[in-house]
Amino acid sequence: QVYDRAKELVISFPAIEIGDVLEIKWTTRGKHPEYRGRFFARYPFGDEKHPVWRDALSVRVPKGTTLKHAVFNPDRAPGNGLKPQRTENADGTTFHWTVNESHPPVKGDLMPSKEEWRPGVSFSTFKSWEEVAEWERKIRENCHECTPEMKSLVREVRKRNPTDEAVAREL
């Protein structure tokens, strides 16, 4: 099974007032062991409930690595339509996207889903969808195989429980 190792931090500001400004920065570093040196993600800009003055995304790739990227819902991005600024140095290339002054949609009965109205960027260092499929095949190759220990445990639990529901509950 593939697990999401993402971490989430929730920060509460109970005394925030109109006109206050919050600036939040976060960074992800390192390599996910299952990605085998590759990287992919999707980043939607803005927020569905609150206005955002500035939302920025930077992706840095090492020298010799190609980053493929595509904008989704570009017509919903105010300003430049999400054209990245590209900066190169000796270590690699940095791509930087910015959306300024995004507002949540006006509430209504027939509004599109948040995936349809929020602009964003999808990006990957995989060269093609075929390479993604090959990566997925290798990662999931034996994911449905039970270890002998797991098979033994299931047999023991089955002996004690008369129904599949009871087996599932105990497991």
| Tokens representing residue 37 in the block | 């040196």
Spatial neighbors of 161 by CB under 8 A, at least 6 apart, are: 167, 169, 170
The pLDDT tens digits for 5-18 are 566 667 778 888 88
User: For residues 69 and 31, which has the higher predicted lDDT (pLDDT)?
Assistant: 69
pTM value?
A: 0.64
In degrees, rounded to 5, the angle at the alpha carbon of residue 131 between the alpha carbons of residues 129 and 132 is 60
The pLDDT tens digits for 118-148 are 889 999 998 887 887 888 888 777 777 888 8
Nearest CA-CA partner of 63 in 93, 38, 37, 87: 93
The whole-number pLDDT of residue 41 equals 84
DSSP string, 7-38: -------TT--TT----------S--GGGTT-
